[in-house]
């Protein structure tokens, strides 16, 4: 059910012909209300795709009636023609649903620098609008690119529901990762509360996922509330439930990262601030040498220390403890238990750092660097 | 001849038994004067190896009589025992040559977090001291780790010579790259002038080499001047010659980067400042997706724009021109000539960006991300 699990939402997923394979490539999610409150966060990349430029205007008033998403092309760096395609897509949805184009968010994902087939896209929009129903699963499949599985979530609150779908498998880095995420709820909350909850939830979930350090041009996470449950939860309680939904989707994205053979959890503790903990974690998540070593099941903790030494976080590199899968291999900047004691064969790798510089902590999620990662990303355009 | 090409220098390269293979693994370079002026630059990584901590003290007075370098172990994060090993190495050289240990630089390279075999090291020092001569080539081979070839240079000035050797194949990132470099000259210049020349030369050569974004704990570039030519050049003219020598070595390092199949030159032009140009170039050099695309001969210029959009440099992403191997594939943020016109099959790839934001420029050197890179770095410790 995913995005159609909460009351007040319909969805569709169709094959518009944007993917050469003929697979589903266009999703439409409609909020039938009574509320049309919504919030969205966007990539922090300065190179923003046309649908981002459009959607940032749409969300400004906090009201959204529908969101249309296509795979098969990012519509980024496609000039005026590309922006017109995004605009025409929103207009197509508006016409089919008898709503305002200014209440229609647009998302695109795929190759940068290629024009989308506008006719195919608009035909797909018409077909999706005609096929709307409880089709959250089809919508979730329609936004997949190199994803091997669709990512969905449903969590239940007291009297209301949150549903969600996500796509993302490569170019996963914070701010956000390369992801399109649509979250729906039948809770009744105003746009400002949704915005606060969404920013709080993405900060500790999607923004902590850093598969390959590469930031996309098209990321968008949207939350729409229909109010159809008639329940108005406390924002804090709603936020916790939303964090749960977002973390579930983030872990699904990590588990399906392109070519990965290990899911790495980097737990940084004893930091002087949360920002420091995040910076330290990210420096490891972006270190190709460490990530290649994990691929080879090599507990090369020296590369961890070499990575964190490049940060400006407050700690003494010679006071740091490092554990890998429960074995403390480095204590106070010197060798501790033998590296041969570490078993890196499980898919999940737990890397723990104690900085001894304070009381703050953060977890960063990443993956190893593999032959398959290189292969998939060398062949993406073909 | 390399480091022994200038008058006043002797060198040796011996097998001390630090490498399991039995290959040469210890180099000694001695300055017989009359001058002992020297300068050195070190890694900017806060996680510094024991030989770095030692050498930073030695260079403080601008006088160096000898430098000893070992491969087969980085002596980093090895605690007090590791620092004592570095100290003992310098003492060993001092005793053999009847000089002060405070005039002996020490460099190490290899795996982090493992103790060096001190007895083997000291035996090697004694053997090297006994075998000193015009053996720059053997010294250059003794500092190799995963290098497939030794890197050497000799450039001639008016009445004086600069010689050099370098090692480095992985973990190549600025500040410096993972490199040990020894430059020698028989020019007669005081330490302060050598320091100024060396910093100017490394800034535009080794600091512009960014193979994989990973910064080492052990980097050191040393320049020693014997004054044996009796010639005191203008510092500016000497600096230009030194840049030539450093750039030659940097290009040799790039060409031998672990597992690389393409050498990528990133020319950033039209930047508002040189710092901006460098930041933009580095953002591309560290983008795994772009580098994997180059490995696959895929001119995916969208990934270039997605990378530079993450920088804080002053430019409009929608005003940028991008050319690959002479074909302008992106003009003003929109597609220009077809990507199929780009031939990425040559080893050297020329990526040119025009930011249209000013008059500054910089070149960054990097490599593609390949199966072999992943393989070599997953198996390093074994």
Active centre residues of A (catalytic): 178
Name every chain A residue with its beta carbon within 8 A of the beta carbon of B374: 292, 295, 369-371, 373-374
Q: Which two tokens stand for residue A161?
A: 């529901």
Q: Which two tokens stand for residue A295?
A: 């691929």
C-alpha Rg value of chain A to the nearest Å = 21
Report the 10 Å Cβ neighbour count for A338.
Answer: 10
- Fold adopted by B263-378: Ubiquitin-like (UB roll) (3.10.20)
Q: Which two tokens stand for residue B294?
A: 């180059």
Which residues are B210's β-sheet partners?
A: none
Q: What is the mean pLDDT of chain B?
A: 92
Report the 10 Å Cβ neighbour count for A80.
Answer: 9
DSSP B212-242: SSPPPSS-EEEEEE--TT-----HHHHHHHH
How far off is chain B from A311, nearest CA to CA, in Å? 8
Q: Is A234 annotated as belonging to a binding site?
A: no
Q: What's the rounded Cα separation, in Å, for the pair A355 and A316?
A: 8
Predicted confidence (pLDDT) per residue in B68-105, tens digit: 999 999 999 998 999 999 999 999 999 999 999 999 99
Name every chain A residue with its beta carbon within 8 A of the beta carbon of B377: 288-289, 292-293, 296, 369
Q: Which residue has the tokens 């493992």?
A: B114
Residues 6+ apart with CB under 8 A from A145: A71, A109, A110, A167, A169
Per the CB < 8 Å rule, is B214 touching A303? yes
Where does B135-215 have alpha helices with state H? 136-142, 191-203
Per the CB < 8 Å rule, is B306 touching A214? yes
Tell me the pLDDT band of B358, cut-offs 50, 70 and 90.
very high
Q: What's the rounded Cα separation, in Å, for the pair B234 and B241?
A: 11
Q: What's the rounded Cα separation, in Å, for the pair A362 and B305?
A: 30
Indicate the angle between helix axes A288-295 and A301-308, nearest 10 degrees. Answer: 160
Torsion of CA B234, B236, B241, B246, to 10 degrees: 130
Residues 6+ apart with CB under 8 A from B342: B299, B324, B325, B327, B329
Report the 10 Å Cβ neighbour count for A20.
Answer: 8
Q: Which residues of B337-354 are buried (b: 16+ CB within 10 A; e: fewer)?
A: eebeebebeeeebebbbb
CA A369 to chain centre: 19
End-to-end CA distance of chain A: 33
The CATH number assigned to the domain with range B2-255 reads: 3.60.70.12
pLDDT at B13 over 90: yes
Of A70, A255, A105, A233, nearest in space to A162 by CA: A233
DSSP A181-213: EEEEE-S---HHHHHHHHHHHHHTTGGGB-SSS
CA atoms within 13 A on the CB side of A379: 10
Which residues are A157's β-sheet partners?
A: A160
CA distances A68 to A13, A65, A85, A164, B240, Å, are: 10, 10, 13, 15, 58
Q: Is B258 annotated as belonging to a binding site?
A: yes
Which residues are B188's β-sheet partners?
A: none
Q: Is A178 annotated as belonging to a binding site?
A: yes
pLDDT by residue for chain A (382 residues), tens digit each? 799 999 999 999 999 999 989 999 999 999 999 999 999 999 888 889 999 999 999 999 999 999 999 999 999 999 899 999 999 999 999 999 999 999 999 999 988 889 999 999 999 999 999 999 999 999 999 999 888 899 999 999 999 999 999 998 655 454 444 689 999 999 999 999 999 999 999 999 998 888 777 788 889 999 999 999 999 999 999 999 999 999 999 999 998 888 899 999 999 999 999 999 999 999 999 898 899 999 999 999 989 998 999 899 999 999 999 999 999 999 998 899 999 999 999 999 999 999 999 999 999 999 999 988 888 878 654 4
Beta strand B160-167 pairing with B327-331: unpaired
Query: Would you say A374 and B292 are in contact if contact means Cβ atoms under 8 Å apart?
Result: yes
Report the 10 Å Cβ neighbour count for A275.
Answer: 12
Active centre residues of B (catalytic): 178
C-alpha Rg value of chain B to the nearest Å = 21
Q: What's the rounded Cα separation, in Å, for the pair B177 and B220?
A: 9
Residue ranges of chain A assigned to CATH 3.60.70.12 = 2-250
Q: Which two tokens stand for residue A45?
A: 């990349």
Q: Is A66 helix (H, G, I), strand (E, B) or coil?
A: strand
How far off is chain A from B314, nearest CA to CA, in Å? 11
Q: What's the rounded Cα separation, in Å, for the pair B131 and B120?
A: 16
Q: Is A122 helix (H, G, I), strand (E, B) or coil?
A: helix
Q: What's the rounded Cα separation, in Å, for the pair B68 and B206?
A: 21
- Fold adopted by A2-250: 3.60.70
Residue ranges of chain A assigned to CATH 3.10.20.340 = 263-378
Q: Which two tokens stand for residue B231?
A: 């010639």
Partner-chain residue, chosen from B45, B309, B335, that has the shortest CB–CB distance to A46: B309
Q: What's the rounded Cα separation, in Å, for the pair B65 and B30?
A: 6
DSSP B64-108: -SEEEEE-SB---S-HHHHHHHHHHHHHHHHHHHTS-GGGEEEEE
CA B339 to chain centre: 34
Beta strand A9-14 pairing with A160-167: unpaired
Q: Is A352 annotated as belonging to a binding site?
A: no
Beta strands in A261-331 (DSSP E): 263-271, 321-324, 327-331
How far off is chain B from A70, nearest CA to CA, in Å? 18
Does ipTM exceed 0.85? Answer: no
Residue of B74, B213, B294, B374 for testing the chain A interface, max A β-carbons within 10 Å: B374
Average pLDDT (B269-287) is 95
Of A210, A370, A360, nearest in space to A283 by CA: A210
Name every chain B residue with its beta carbon within 8 A of the beta carbon of A380: 289, 293, 298, 300
Q: What's the rounded Cα separation, in Å, for the pair B326 and B110?
A: 39
Q: Which residue has the tokens 């002479």?
A: B326
Q: What's the rounded Cα separation, in Å, for the pair B234 and B215?
A: 33
Quote the pLDDT of residue B178.
Answer: 65
CA distances A106 to A71, A90, A91, A244, Å, are: 11, 7, 10, 25
Q: How many CB pairs under 8 A join A and B?
A: 213
Q: In what order do the strands lie in the sheet with B220-225?
A: B37-42, B220-225, B180-185, B160-167, B151-157
Per the CB < 8 Å rule, is A112 touching B292? no
Per the CB < 8 Å rule, is B335 touching A48? no
Per the CB < 8 Å rule, is B305 touching A47? yes
**Cβ burial, residue B244 (10 Å; 0-12/13-18/19+):** middle
Left if phi > 0, otherwise alpha if psi is -120 to 50, otherwise beta: which for A325?
A: left
Of A311, A334, A290, A310, nearest in space to B217 by CA: A310
CA atoms within 13 A on the CB side of A80: 0
Partner-chain residue, chosen from A214, A289, A311, that has the shortest CB–CB distance to B214: A289
What count of residues does chain A have?
382
CA A165 to chain centre: 10
Quote the pLDDT of residue A145.
Answer: 85
Per the CB < 8 Å rule, is A77 touching B308? no
CA A246 to chain centre: 8
What count of residues does chain B have?
382
Residue of A nearest to B176 (CA): A310
Partner-chain residue, chosen from B77, B114, B306, that has the shortest CB–CB distance to A216: B306
Q: What's the rounded Cα separation, in Å, for the pair B242 and A213?
A: 35
What letter does residue A21 receive in the DSSP assignment? T
Query: Would you say A243 and A205 are in contact if contact means Cβ atoms under 8 Å apart?
Result: yes
Per the CB < 8 Å rule, is B334 touching A215? no
Partner-chain residue, chosen from B46, B292, B333, that has the shortest CB–CB distance to A317: B46
Q: What is the largest CA-CA distance in chain B?
A: 67
Beta strand A327-331 pairing with A334-335: antiparallel
DSSP B41-70: EE---SS--HHHHHHHHHGGGSB-SEEEEE
Q: What's the rounded Cα separation, in Å, for the pair B25 and B22?
A: 8
Q: Which of A197-206, B169-178, B187-196 has the lowest mean pLDDT?
A: B169-178
Per the CB < 8 Å rule, is A212 touching B289? yes
Predicted confidence (pLDDT) per residue in B143-160, tens digit: 998 888 999 999 999 999
């Amino acid at each position: 059910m995913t995005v159609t699990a909460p009351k007040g939402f319909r969805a569709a997923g169709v094959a518009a012909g944007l993917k050469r394979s003929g697979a589903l490539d266009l999703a439409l999610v409609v909020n039938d209300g009574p509320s049309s409150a919504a919030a969205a966060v966007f990539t922090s990349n300065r190179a923003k795709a046309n649908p981002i430029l459009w959607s940032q205007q749409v969300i400004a008033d906090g009201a959204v009636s529908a969101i249309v998403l296509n795979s098969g092309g990012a519509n980024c760096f496609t000039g005026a023609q590309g922006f017109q395609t995004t605009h025409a897509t929103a207009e197509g949805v508006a016409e089919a649903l008898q709503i305002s184009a200014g209440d229609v968010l647009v998302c695109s994902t795929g190759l940068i620098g290629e024009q989308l087939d506008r006719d195919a896209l608009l035909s797909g929009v018409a077909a999706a609008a005609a096929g709307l129903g409880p089709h959250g699963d089809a919508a979730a499949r329609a936004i997949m690119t190199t994803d091997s599985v669709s990512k969905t979530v449903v969590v239940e609150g007291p009297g209301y529901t949150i549903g969600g779908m996500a796509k993302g498998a490569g170019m996963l880095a914070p701010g956000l990762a390369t992801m399109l995420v649509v979250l729906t709820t039948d809770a009744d909350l105003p746009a400002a509360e949704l915005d606060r909850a969404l920013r709080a939830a993405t900060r500790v979930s999607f923004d902590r996922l850093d598969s390959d350090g590469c930031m996309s041009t098209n990321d968008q996470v949207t939350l729409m509330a229909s109010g159809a449950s008639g329940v108005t939860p406390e924002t804090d309680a709603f936020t916790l439930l939303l964090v749960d939904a977002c973390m579930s989707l983030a872990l699904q994205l990590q588990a399906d990262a392109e070519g990965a053979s290990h899911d790495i959890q980097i737990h940084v503790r004893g930091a002087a601030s949360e920002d420091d903990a995040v910076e330290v974690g990210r420096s490891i998540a972006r270190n190709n040498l460490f990530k290649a070593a994990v691929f080879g099941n090599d507990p090369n903790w020296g590369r961890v220390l070499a990575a964190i030494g490049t940060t400006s976080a407050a700690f003494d590199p010679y006071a740091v403890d490092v554990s890998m899968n429960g074995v403390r291999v480095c204590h106070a900047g010197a060798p501790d238990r033998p590296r041969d004691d570490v078993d890196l064969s499980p898919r999940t790798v737990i890397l723990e750092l104690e900085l001894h510089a304070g009381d703050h902590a953060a977890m960063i999620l990443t993956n190893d660097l593999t032959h398959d990662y290189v292969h998939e990303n060398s062949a993406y355009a073909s």
